[in-house]
Structure 1
């Protein structure tokens, strides 16, 4: 007879917080979503950039705050853009160069990503989707650990800035965290810029 693995209390708490946060996010009206994305993009860029800076964004899915207006602002300021590519569970994300208007291909889970022939790049700044966050920079994502693994791998090689993109309603008092959880440097909401460093 095989025994069940022990229940991880942190994982269980995160799952409950994730469900509640995604329910709250789903209730945000479409007009507020568009206004929030515009408000974030209208501010000065949250980090200094140079012509060689590469910013990894993402294509919003479900009820995520759309980072496209902010991504366009980065491009207007001379940065290169990249989008993440999922390589498999437990593996860091790869990043492929991309520019607005270049067609994307559909990958697993309905995610859109650059075509395989797009060159791989290493980002300096990552825009990170999330379910919820706290003011210490901890976040709850979707449970696969892709960004935690990726940030750990990138930060082992060089400094990178991780910026959470969220609606103010996604903030919670405390995210239960463990040693595998990578912290965000900043969180941008429609209401404010939260510096977690």
Structure 2
């Protein structure tokens, strides 16, 4: 786990330096280590969905059996790949879709559905535009803090989405990243949303 010495008066600059460092490290990630760690994150994420979210899933072990939606994501290179949850969860999946208005929604997705290039380079999203409202959202992160704050690419799509959706819906938010990018502290601002769970290949943290 990284320990960061932070100048809290210059958090934007500090976050950008962390981003640049992690992106360099992700490019050098060994494929075997990636697969091993990815499998552990997958298992930890299923454990949280099945056992730690009784508000939405009760005692059931069958994902989607109560017709709740899980928000997943199309992984970029170097991110945890959790799309196989869509197999276990039957068809109750939503993936982020960025509209031409720069608004992000979650669009209904069945594994194998057509996808198209997003407005973000190298990122794909459902071609369909049927909007769904996930009860639990799995959020990819460059880094996570043990207190539940997330470092993304700095474009703010998830934070803007959560600001809107949390005003009218109860939603559980789960950040995922590889353990080497779990940090004691990440600078955050008033519009940054604290996540309910932090998951790495080594830890599951309820914040």
> Normalization by structure 2: what TM-score?
0.81
Kindly tell me: are residues 139 and 14 of structure 1, through their superposed partners in 2, closer, same or farther at Cα, counting changes over 3 Å? Answer: same
Q: What does residue 3 of structure 1 align with?
A: none
Q: Which residue number in structure 1 is paired with residue 145 of structure 2?
A: 134
The root-mean-square deviation of aligned C-alpha atoms, in Å, is 2.0
- Misfit runs of 4+, over 6 Å: none
Higher mean displacement: 47-56 or 92-101: 47-56
Q: Does 1:181 align with 2:181?
A: no
Cα distance in 1 for partners of 2:162, 2:179 equals 23
CA separation of 1:182/1:154 partners in 2, compared to 1, >3 Å: closer, same or farther? same
The CA deviation at 1:131 is 0.9
User: Is it true that 1:144 corresponds to 2:145 in the alignment?
Assistant: no
Q: Which residues of structure 2 form unaligned runs of 5+?
A: 1-8, 58-64
Q: Which has the larger displacement, 64-73 or 164-173? A: 64-73
Q: How many angstroms apart in 2 are the aligned matches of 1:169 and 1:181?
A: 22
Q: Which residue in 2 is equivalent to 1:113?
A: 125
121-130 or 20-29, which deviates more = 20-29
Question: What residue in structure 2 maps to residue 45 of structure 1?
Answer: 47
For residue 95 of structure 2, the aligned residue among 63, 83, 94 is 83
Aligned residue number for residue 80 of structure 2 = 65
CA contact under 8 A between 1:95 and 1:121: conserved in structure 2? Answer: yes
Across the two proteins, how many residue pairs are aligned to each other? 184
Q: Deviations over 1:146-171 (max 9, x none)?
A: 11111111111121111111100111
- What are structure 1's unaligned runs of at least 5 residues? 1-7
Cα distance per residue 1:86-126 (max 9 Å; x no partner): 1368x5411110011222122221321111x4411111111
1:102 aligns with 2:113: yes
Aligned mates of 1:136, 1:21 — CA distance in 2: 19
What secondary structure is seen at the aligned counterpart in 2 of 1:82?
strand
For residue 3 of structure 2, what is the aligned residue in structure 1? none
- After TM superposition, the score normalised by the length of structure 1 is 0.85
Choose which of 55, 61, 83 in structure 1 pairs with 2:70: 55
- Secondary structure at the counterpart of residue 162 of structure 2: helix
